[in-house]
Amino acid sequence: MNKNLKEYLSLFFVLSDEIQILLNEFDHEWENDEDPPYIFLFSKIGKVIANNVFLFDYKKQIEIFSHIESGINSDNEYLATAVATGLVEALVNVSDGNPELWNKIESHLGTESKKHAIAWKNFGQ
């Protein structure tokens, strides 16, 4: 796995066993591929975060969404794109039709991640 992506993802690994399992499955499935679809992995992690956001204490929620913001603002274009189109869009998709979940997610998103999330949420409307 790309070193920058692995370093970025390491914070999410400690959040839940489910995310660690996703990484292990991803590594196993794509181990021989020189360019695995990291956006797919980021999307799965976004779904786990959205589905568990109410289980994280406030401090952990702040830490998670600050980390998402740092990823979307990364100088590494591939990382920033994976966070935006994988993770953030998954947060929006999972929260679609669930105003309580969307409000929780939106309240923690940083400036750039919120801009992207709202644009994605409003896309096609």
Inform me whether the pLDDT recorded for 3 exceeds 80: no
Q: What's the pLDDT tens digit per position in 78-117?
A: 999 999 999 999 999 999 999 999 999 999 999 999 999 9
What is the distance between the alpha carbons of residues 44 and 35, in angstroms, rounded to a whole number? 18
Range of the domain at 34: 3-122
- Contact between 60 and 104 under an 8 Å Cβ cutoff? The reply is no
The number of residues in the chain equals 125
What is the distance between the alpha carbons of residues 80 and 88, in angstroms, rounded to a whole number? 10
Q: What's the pLDDT tens digit per position in 11-63?
A: 888 777 888 888 888 888 888 877 788 899 999 999 999 999 999 999 999 99
Q: Which residues of 13-51 are buried (b: 16+ CB within 10 A; e: fewer)?
A: eebbeebeebbeebeeebeeeeebebbebbbbbbbbbbe
Determine how many CB atoms are found less than 10 A away from the CB of residue 92. Answer: 22
- Contact between 117 and 109 under an 8 Å Cβ cutoff? The reply is yes
Which pTM does this prediction carry? 0.90
User: How many domains is the chain built from?
Assistant: 1
Identity at 77, one-letter amino acid code:
E
